[in-house]
Structure 1
Amino acid sequence: MRKIQALLLAVGLLAAAPALAAETHGPAIPDAGFSFNRIFGTFDRASAQRGFQVYKEVCSSCHAMRQLYYRNLTDLGLSADQVRNIAAGFQITDGPNDEGAMFERAGRASDHFRRPFANDNAARAANGGALPPDFSVIVKAREGGADYIHALLTGYRDAPAGVTVMEGMHYNEYFPGHQIAMAPPLSDGQVEFTGGAPNTVEAMARDVSTFLAWAAEPELEVRRAMGVKILIFLSILGVLAYLTKRKIWADAH
């Protein structure tokens, strides 16, 4: 009898698994159509630069990017002077000095991106116990990559009828479980771009997703270009090998 009950329970769990998985992972992440997600795609440098501005003015108050240096921004098309000015706008804790004390100084291009909090405990204390994740490789760390980040940033909704959102949480259509501690970080017109680029939530979410995708894999374009060269080389080598084989064995037929 117990074996039969166990078998029925297992069958019931298997039948419920798709529904549970759908509830846990949320709806399918829509394809945002990013250029870098194509086989031979590249990063939109202008979009990535705007995305860095969104990160700097909005996201960096909570989320660190400790694997990036300010000098890396030259790969986005920023000049060395622009990078120096950006770095100098941050106060970096350095030291100890000759007296053994830590001190604050203006940032340099050789510095890591400044952390918003001194340590993880300070970050948790400032965010109701939640630790904001580091954004250095967040696109690689989340299933769906940049499409998921874009969907998350644009997925805040009013909770459907019958759904109770816990205190301190916010309903998000694409977050697993649909309840997220982070309040909607973006609002229309929140960041002003030079040149009059669109600054709606949708546009800023696309820009910052592009920047985070570049930050997670800045060598993507170089790697793809190398792959194309290798494929061309192997194709030519294959043709030469075939023609050589035909020439050597021609008299054997």
Structure 2
Amino acid sequence: MIRIISILVGLFFTLGLAWSFGNGAYTAITEPAPVTAEHEFHLVPKEVHFASDGPFGKFDRQQLQRGFQVYKEVCSACHSLRLVAFRDLAALGYNEAEVKAIAKGFQVPGIDPNTGEANMRPGLPTDYFPKPFANDVAARAANNNAIPPDLSLITKARHDGGPYVYSLLTGFQAQPAELLKEFPDAKTPNGLHYNPYFANLNLAMAPPLTADGQVQYGDGTKSTVDQMAKDVSAFLIWTAEPKLEKRKQTGWPVLGFLLFATVLGYMSYRSIWAEKKKKKA
């Protein structure tokens, strides 16, 4: 009796699942989703090449230092790097003295050893990049009720990673007349900014890179908006995956070993079982 009831219950759920699937498919065919401005005008990220791309890619240390400079002088006013410590910057080619100087230029939360009260102190190499706002309320108040995301893993958290960040930084523009003609209600609200590379076309962040020469590079590279966007995108690829080069360097020997082990295993198999197959035949 219990077996029959179990079969009937399973059959009931199977029929319910099949009905739900069929009804959903029928609805999708007969009542297609309405066309939206986001669907029509959202663009895929631009094609851009980074030195770290591909199975043999390596980070360009000079570019990473330029990207860090852009982050420090432009992005750090709103965005944090809570998973990156100052000492990690040594991987970009900075020496110990330079890392200490960079850390000292930031104020981080600390404790007064005399009174035990919370205070702010110059950063140390062991500290992590501090948050630009004391809390979410302060962040919302300064950014049109939006909380700027932490950038530590942004290129891993967003599809297309570096190209997405680069496209977003260089994609601010006026709303096209065609969009407003086709979707009159899709006008960008006050306080937001139109960007076709953002999912809903409008975001609270104002264009952070507004003019060539906004950051003065120490290595003589011309700091166009395009160059600055590419450099900071490369830097954020590094913050999201600082062990990228090591992973690639380790991966190739591992693949070679696995290939060799596979061939050796197949040859051993043929050698061990060849005689037994002959005897069986």
In structure 1, the residue corresponding to 2:52 is in which secondary structure? helix
8 Å Cα contact 2:38/2:201 also seen in 1: no
Q: Distance in 2 between matches of 1:100 and 1:247?
A: 74
Q: Which of 207, 224, 238 is equivalent to 2:262?
A: 238
- Relative to structure 1, the CA distance from residue 175 to residue 237 in structure 2 (aligned partners, 3 Å threshold; closer, same or farther) is same
Match of 2:193 in 1: 170
Count of residues in correspondence between the two structures:
246
Q: Distance in 2 between matches of 1:87 and 1:24?
A: 45
Q: 1:220: how far off?
A: 1.5
Q: 1:80: how far off?
A: 1.3
Does residue 11 of structure 1 match 2:29?
yes
In structure 2, the residue corresponding to 1:35 is in which secondary structure? coil
8 Å Cα contact 1:24/1:176 also seen in 2: no
Q: Structure 2: which 5+ residue stretches go unaligned?
A: 1-23, 181-186
Computing the radius of gyration from Cα coordinates, the structure with the larger value is 2
Q: Distance in 1 between matches of 2:50 and 2:171?
A: 17
TM-score, normalisation: structure 1: 0.88
TM-score, normalisation: structure 2: 0.80
In structure 2, the residue corresponding to 1:118 is in which secondary structure? coil
Q: Which of 62, 71, 78 is equivalent to 1:62?
A: 78
Return the letter of the residue paired with 2:168. L
Q: 1:44: how far off?
A: 1.8
In structure 1, the residue corresponding to 2:109 is in which secondary structure? strand
Q: Structure 1: which 5+ residue stretches go unaligned?
A: 1-5
Match of 2:15 in 1: none
Q: 1:56: how far off?
A: 0.3
Match of 2:139 in 1: 123
Q: In the TM superposition, what whole-angstrom CA distance separates every residue of 1:91-147 from its partner, at most 9, and x where no partner exists?
A: 222114332322232111001102111111111111121111111111111122111
In structure 2, the residue corresponding to 1:93 is in which secondary structure? strand
Match of 1:71 in 2: 87
In structure 1, the residue corresponding to 2:33 is in which secondary structure? helix
Match of 1:83 in 2: 99
Q: Which of 53, 60, 69 is equivalent to 1:44?
A: 60
Q: 1:178: how far off?
A: 1.4
* More displaced 10-residue stretch of structure 1: 57-66 or 39-48: 39-48
Does residue 189 of structure 1 match 2:213?
yes
8 Å Cα contact 2:112/2:119 also seen in 1: yes
Q: Distance in 2 between matches of 1:69 and 1:123?
A: 22
Q: 1:40: how far off?
A: 2.9
Match of 2:19 in 1: none
* More displaced 10-residue stretch of structure 1: 243-252 or 190-199: 243-252
8 Å Cα contact 1:69/1:113 also seen in 2: yes
* More displaced 10-residue stretch of structure 1: 220-229 or 148-157: 220-229
Q: Which of 154, 162, 169 is equivalent to 1:146?
A: 162
8 Å Cα contact 2:38/2:200 also seen in 1: no
Match of 2:126 in 1: 110
Q: In the TM superposition, what whole-angstrom CA distance separates every residue of 1:10-41 from its partner, at most 9, and x where no partner exists?
A: 4354x336x44962881122221223231332
